[in-house]
Structure 1
C-alpha cells in the first residue's frame, strides 16, 4: 500500500493540535481527504485551513460518503462506545485517543469487535512513540538480554501536574454551540463517587500506567496505593517493583515527567517534554557501572520530532503493513483493569 487516504472524525482542540496538524504535513505518506464534525462552522473552518476536500456532519455520513483507508477519531474516551463500533464494523482501521474507554466492560466490547472484524484499532498512548521512549525501550531490552548490568529491579514514573500545553498554538474555534453527546456511564459495581475517581484517574494517569508496561515489556499488578492518592506501587510477573508518583508536587510553567528504569548496575532515565510541545522529543540519560569498566553517563541525541508526529507516522506505517502499532486495543484493555483495581484498592480508606 502506498499513500493512504485518511478521514478524521472530530476536529476539536485535541483533534487539531495533537493529530490533524501532524497528519497534514505527512504528504508523502498520507492525504487527509475527509472530516466529520458535528459543529458545522468549525468543520468548514478547519477544512479550509487544512485543505480537506470533504466535510460531513457526523461519522455515519463519512462512512457512507467517503473512500478512506483509515480513520483518526480523537473523541473524548467516554464517547468511544457510541462511535467506534460503527467504524470497526465497517472494517476500517481506526486510531482513538487514550484510554480505550472508561470501563473494562465497554473496553472488552471494543476489543471483541476489532477481533471479530479483523480490523486494526490503535489506542493513542503517544508516549510510546516518543523517540526517547523508543530508544530507551531498545536499550532496556538489550540490557535484559545481555545481563551485563544485572537484573531489572525497579521502574518509577513521576508525573506531577504542570504545563502540558508547552506553548502550542491555540486551535481554530467557532461560535457553534458545544454539542451534547451521550457519554459512557460508570460500571454498575461503582458508586457515583468511585466513577468520578475512576474518570479522573484514567484521564490524568492512564498514560503512565501504560508506559510502565511498555518499559517492563510484561504485565504487572497493583500492590499498594496511599490514601492521599500520590503513590501507586505494583509488581510485575517476574518480580520487578514499579511505582507511579502521581502528584508529589505541581508546577505552573514547566512540565516534569520522568521515567527511571533501574538495573543492578545502571539505569536508563527518560525525561519527557509537555505532551503538546512542537517537534520536541524526550531526553535520555544512561548510567552504566558494571564494576569492570569505568562508570559512565551517556546522553544520546534524539531527533527533533515530537511523540505526536511519530505517533501519526506509526499509525500510517501500521495501516500500510510496514510495522505493528505501538499499542492495540487488546493491550490498552489491561490499563483499564489496573485503573479498576486501583479504585477498588482506594475504597479501603473510605
Structure 2
C-alpha cells in the first residue's frame, strides 16, 4: 500500500522539515502541495517535484486520490483546516500544538472518530530515540524502585538556538507575497489582551507538557502559576511529589532544555537536543549515590525525530493503529496548558 499525501503549508517547517521527511518515508507518495501564497507554493512544489499545487485546502476535500494530509500552518488554522479534511475522510497529521483552545481540540478529535480516520499531532520529541530510551529507563526505575521513590521533578526550557544552520543548508524559499491574515482562536474564557502570551506559551512549551505527561501521567492539580513578561513558573502536583515547570527564552548559541527526575537515591536527567539538529538523540544521565556512587550516560541510536514521526504516521495508516501522539492523547496537553494559564489569572486576581 502506498499512502498518497497532500501537504498543506509551504512555509519554514514545511520546506525544511516535513516535506523532505514525507518524501523519504517508505510507502508514501507526496502528490500535492497546498498554500494560500501561490507564488511560494508553486516554487516549493517545483523544488521538491510535487506534481500538483492547490491554493486552498478546500480543493483537497473532494479528491479521492489523496489518502492523508499533512497540515503545517499557523496554530490558529490547525483546527479549522484539520476538521474540514477529517470530515472528508482523510487521515490528518497536524503540527503541534493540536489547537489554540480546548473546544477546538475536542472538535478535531470528534471529527476523526466520526470519520474513522487517524489524527496525529506532531510531537516529534516522543519519536527521539533518546526520549524513547529514557521512557523505558524511567518506567523500569519507577517499577523496581531501584533508586527509591520519586520525590521531585524539574522541567526546564529556556530554548536558545534551535535551527542549527538548517535554513542555510537547505535553501529556504521566500517570496514577497503577504502572509494571509489569520483570525485568532483563543479560549473563550481568556481575556483577549492575554492571548499573545498564551499563544506563545502554547506554541513553544507544549512539547515539554507533552513529554512530562508521557513520562509520568496527568498531574492532579496546578498548585501555582505565574508569568513575568514571557517567563513562566508553575508547580504541578502529583500524588506523592511535585513538578517545577519553568520556561522562558535566552539568546544563546546552545539549547537549554532538560527534564530531571529526583529519586531518594539518585536522579535521571534527560537533555533533548536543539529541535532541528538532525540525527542527534536526547542525552540521558543517571546518577545513583548511596554506598556505591555511580554516574552513567546512556546513548541512544542516531536518528532524527521528525523523520521517525513521519514514518510512524504512514505506518499507522497502513496498519490501522492509533498513533503514539494521537488526537485523543493530545487533547490533554491543551487542557493542562489552559489550566496553567487559568491558575495564573486566578493568582494575579487574588
TM-score by length of 2: 0.90
Query: Given that residues 89 and 113 in structure 1 are in contact (C-alpha distance below 8 angstroms), is that contact kept between their aligned partners in structure 2?
Result: yes
Deviates more, 1:133-142 or 1:256-265: 256-265
Q: Give 1:286's aligned residue.
A: 286
Q: Give 2:237's aligned residue.
A: 235
Q: Give 1:195's aligned residue.
A: 195
Paired with 1:316 and 1:60, the residues of 2 have a C-alpha distance of 22
Query: Given that residues 225 and 346 in structure 1 are in contact (C-alpha distance below 8 angstroms), is that contact kept between their aligned partners in structure 2?
Result: yes
187 and 230 in structure 1: CA distance in 2 versus 1, 3 angstrom threshold: closer
Paired with 2:220 and 2:314, the residues of 1 have a C-alpha distance of 30
Deviates more, 1:35-44 or 1:322-331: 322-331
Structure 1 stretches of 4+ moved >4 Å: none
190 and 230 in structure 1: CA distance in 2 versus 1, 3 angstrom threshold: closer
Paired with 1:206 and 1:131, the residues of 2 have a C-alpha distance of 19
Is the counterpart of residue 211 in structure 1 residue 211 in structure 2? yes
Paired with 2:316 and 2:294, the residues of 1 have a C-alpha distance of 37
Query: Given that residues 225 and 233 in structure 2 are in contact (C-alpha distance below 8 angstroms), is that contact kept between their aligned partners in structure 1?
Result: yes
- Number of aligned residue pairs: 344
Measure how far apart 1:323 and its partner are: 5.5
Aligned residue for 2:166, secondary structure, equals coil
Is the counterpart of residue 154 in structure 1 residue 152 in structure 2? yes
> Cα RMSD between the aligned structures?
2.1
Is the counterpart of residue 122 in structure 1 residue 120 in structure 2? yes
Q: Give 1:349's aligned residue.
A: 348
Q: Which structure is higher in strand share?
A: 2
Gaps (5+ residues) in structure 1? none
Measure how far apart 1:66 and its partner are: 5.8
TM-score by length of 1: 0.90
- CA deviations on 1:283-323 (whole Å, 9 max, x unpaired) are 111223465xx332222222221221222122222222276
Gaps (5+ residues) in structure 2? none
Give matches, 1:255-294, under 5 Å. Answer: 255-289=255-289, 294=292
Aligned residue for 2:24, secondary structure, equals coil
Deviates more, 1:256-265 or 1:94-103: 256-265
- CA deviations on 1:226-248 (whole Å, 9 max, x unpaired) are 45343111012x3332121112x
Query: Given that residues 82 and 182 in structure 1 are in contact (C-alpha distance below 8 angstroms), is that contact kept between their aligned partners in structure 2?
Result: no
Aligned residue for 1:160, secondary structure, equals strand
Q: Give 2:10's aligned residue.
A: 11
